[in-house]
């Protein structure tokens, strides 16, 4: 058994040994204002274990070369590592073949790739795109732009009062004009886990394509594209222990084959003459220029680390933490939490009446607790919540009950500091 996974908890799932896990993350030894760091901003980006840092260093020190077509040994070694990373990603999410994995800069670029390369060819006047009010701007603005450019119409699934998708609303919207459904598997504000497998089944019957934003799900729970039945999946590497600047688009091979390239230049071509050019096979026709080789290698190392822990164990660990945190915050009496009460991802968005989230986050930073404050790139959802912004605490593999205690204690300091405005 992996030494980072300890014994059984009360429900029979193996627990993460957070004390040992923390040792793999040197940054967690950082002092903030003289206090030990409690990092609860994982929905924005995760910290990197030494294993990922070493993978990056090893590539640059031992295998640094450009990939593909090189004759020399360093080039062959770099290509093997890069394509090996593609295979690791494919296996991690259950893709049928590595060629269904396109490396991008981030999940945002993955969504934009689909909006341009698939959307401009397949969406036209009178067509409809279904999405939700809880989407990150990265899974909303590209569809706004596509609709504006093609004459298509955006339709939005209603939300229930507790922040879930109203599936009756979805079924009312889904019709023969629907070309695309774009939905996040997990909300980065509400913590809602959406029923994407059900959405994919219904969309397939309507002959519509589904893009799933997996930025807040793939790092935190088992995700299998075959089980979900999605056509596209966008992934963010830096939210799952990997480096910044690396993302993934999973796409069904037949869809990718039929799509035009998004960017043009080197490596994405099969031939070039002065006035004509032909495109490379998938996935390479979507990876113009020198890719983020080190980023892909670091992402593979991150996947190794996560799979060593077990995605089921990670999901269970986070759900226990968020349940504890919601209970502790609920006891305070002056904290308003947003999103479903149960069956949710490992994050909490909350407000303290009369205090702007930026002020709350500032006080918590003084106590060494790092949370997020703002609209979290989800301004339409802030409008739905009728708040300008929220605080957000998001948990990951190296967080534990002591971190929850530190956060709650820091929030009581907010009450002391702003006692004249809290009612």
Q: Which residue in the block uniquely carries the two structure tokens 């879930």?
A: 164
Rounded to whole angstroms, how far apart are CA atoms 411 and 333?
12
Buried b (16+ CB within 10 A) or exposed e, 44-77: bbbbbbeebbebbeebeeebeebbbeeeeeebeb
Residue 200 appears among annotated catalytic residues: no
Q: What is the DSSP string of 7-29?
A: EE-TTSPEEE-HHHHHTT-GGGG
Helices (H), 94-124: 107-113, 120-122
Return the percent helix, strand and coil in the chain, to nearest 5.
Answer: 45, 20, 35
Kind plus residue range of the DSSP H or E element containing 31: strand 31-32
DSSP conformational letter for 240: G
Check 377, 387, 405, 422 and give the catalytic one.
Answer: 377
SS3 category, 68: coil
Classify 245 in phi/psi space as left (phi over 0), alpha (psi -120 to 50) or beta: left
Catalytic residues: 377
């Amino acid at each position: 058994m992996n030494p980072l996974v300890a014994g059984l908890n009360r429900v029979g799932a193996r627990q993460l040994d957070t004390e040992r896990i923390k040792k793999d993350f040197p940054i967690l030894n950082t002092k903030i204002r003289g206090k030990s760091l409690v990092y609860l901003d994982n929905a924005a980006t995760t910290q990197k274990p030494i294993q990922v840092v070493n993978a990056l260093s090893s590539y640059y020190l031992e295998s640094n070369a450009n990939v593909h077509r090189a004759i020399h040994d360093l080039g062959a070694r770099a290509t093997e590592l890069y394509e090996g990373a593609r295979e690791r990603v494919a296996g991690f999410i259950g893709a049928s073949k590595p060629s269904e994995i396109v490396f991008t800069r981030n999940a945002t670029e993955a969504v934009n790739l689909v909006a341009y390369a698939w959307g401009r060819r397949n969406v036209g006047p009178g067509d409809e795109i279904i999405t939700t009010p809880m989407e990150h701007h990265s899974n909303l603005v590209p569809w706004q732009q596509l609709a504006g450019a093609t004459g298509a119409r955006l339709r939005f699934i209603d939300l229930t009062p507790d922040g879930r998708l109203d599936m009756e609303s979805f079924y009312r919207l889904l019709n023969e004009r629907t070309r695309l459904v774009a939905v996040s598997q997990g909300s980065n504000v509400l913590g809602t886990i959406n029923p994407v497998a059900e959405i994919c089944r219904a969309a397939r019957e309507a002959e519509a394509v589904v893009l799933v934003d997996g930025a807040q799900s793939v790092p935190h729970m088992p995700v299998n594209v075959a089980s979900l039945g999605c056509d596209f999946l966008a992934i963010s590497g830096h939210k799952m222990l990997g480096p910044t600047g690396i993302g993934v688009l999973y796409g069904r091979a037949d869809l990718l084959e039929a799509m035009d390239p998004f960017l043009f230049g080197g490596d994405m071509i099969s031939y070039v003459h002065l006035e004509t050019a032909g495109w490379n096979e998938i996935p390479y026709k979507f990876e113009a220029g020198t890719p983020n080789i080190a980023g892909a290698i670091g992402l593979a190392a991150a996947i190794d680390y996560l799979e060593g822990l077990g995605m089921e164990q990670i999901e269970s660990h986070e759900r226990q933490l968020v349940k504890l945190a919601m209970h502790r915050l609920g006891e305070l009496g002056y904290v308003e939490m947003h999103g479903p009460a149960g069956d949710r991802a490992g994050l909490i968005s909350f407000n303290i009446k009369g205090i702007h989230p930026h002020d709350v986050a500032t006080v918590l930073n003084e106590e060494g607790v790092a949370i997020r404050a703002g609209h979290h790139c989800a301004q339409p959802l802030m409008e739905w919540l009728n708040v300008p912004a929220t605080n957000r605490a998001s948990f990951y593999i190296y967080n534990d009950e002591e971190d929850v205690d530190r956060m709650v204690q820091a929030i009581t300091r907010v009450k002391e500091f702003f006692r004249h405005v809290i009612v």
